[in-house]
Amino acid sequence: MDKLAVIALGGNAITRNDQKGSILEQEINVKETLKNILFLIKDDYKLIITHGNGPQVGNILMRNDAGEQLYKITQMPLDICVADSQGGIGYLIERVLRNLLKEEGIKKDVLTLVTQVIVDKKDPAFKNPSKRIGKSYTKEESENLAKKKGWIFKETPKQPGYYRRVVPSPVPKSIFNRESIRKMALHGSIIIAVGGGGIPVYRDEDGSLKGIEAVIDKDMASSLLAQRIEADELYILTDVPYIYLDYKKPTQRIAEFLTVEQAKNYLKQGQFSEGSMAPKIRASIEFVEKGGKKAIITEATKLSDKKYGSKITKQ
């Protein structure tokens, strides 16, 4: 029986911390990552690919700001910037994947969907920005930008001493076109959707859709999509091959197999950083609790090597 899976590509699958972010660099990174999902396609998995957009949407916002200052170009709101990043990254993933499929002699449609995601306008996240976007800055640079632009910064867990801008990250409530996504995937098309966590929208008093200034967590949105389309497996690709306990401490150790209850306990113990692994663990727990068979967290380039990867299951 065919398996339905959602694969969430992390930011490092597109842009690495030590790179400038040129299209050539991004194309090489995406190709390196997508090569590792070909085995799932060959095994007749039905796939939906989601992706992050933290570095890219941050760069779009910086271009926004520079355009206004230098050329008086009107700035676009954050939801439009998310939509821009969704389209651009989706196009890149689709083009690279089509080329890989051609090389492998595999004939499949690949569809990129601009996806809107409903959030609650009163979500507490709007009073406590936490989602890191854009490039990393030194403490001095971040303080100058905070004074100049009113931006909020938080230290980057993976780069102590460096700071990134943070914006609200509300909980995703509902995803548009999920039934169509499910049907097209089961029919055999590879779907790219919920890019950057989806474009954040809410319904006003008369039920009309309105955009809102936020960036939804990609892993939480991917988990919600996987739940709603009744996917069998959720893959969260990041920059480490396993979940680690006591990360970067002398007692660091691999957690290759975790039950939902074990994962919850480690979360309570503060084992996972809120700016890094914690959202991935929560997304995995929610997926498995809502009926998913297995969530896998691993490095983007290690997926095809089955000796890597941490698995979260019910029991």
3 state SS of 204: coil
- The Cα-based distances of 228 to 116, 174, 232, 291 in angstroms read 15, 9, 11, 10
DSSP-derived secondary structure for 50-95? EE--HHHHHHHHHHHHHHHHHH-PPPPPHHHHHHHHHHHHHHHHHH
- Is 64 an annotated catalytic residue? no
Angle between helices 218-228 and 178-186 (to 10 degrees): 70
- Is 90 an annotated catalytic residue? no
53, 64, 197, 218: the catalytic one is 218
Angle between helices 218-228 and 278-289 (to 10 degrees): 10
Return the CA Rg of the chain: 19
Q: Which of 76, 56, 201 is nearest to 133 (CA)?
A: 56
The count of C-alpha atoms lying within 13 angstroms of the C-alpha of 105, restricted to the half-sphere facing its C-beta, is 0
Torsion of the alpha carbons at 226, 227, 229 and 232, rounded to the nearest 10: 70
**Residues in CB range of 150: below 8 A, 6 or more apart:** none
Q: Around Cβ 177, how many Cβ atoms within 10 Å?
A: 16
11, 90, 134, 292: the catalytic one is 11
10, 12, 64, 195: the catalytic one is 12
- Is 131 an annotated catalytic residue? yes
Contact 88, 198 (CB under 8 A): no
Q: Which of 240, 244, 226 is nearest to 284 (CA)?
A: 226
Residue 4 is encoded by which pair of tokens? 């339905």
53, 131, 197, 198: the catalytic one is 131
10, 29, 195, 280: the catalytic one is 280
Cα–Cα distance measured from residue 104 to residue 221, given in angstroms and rounded to the nearest whole number:
31
Which residues form the catalytic set? 11-12, 131, 218, 280
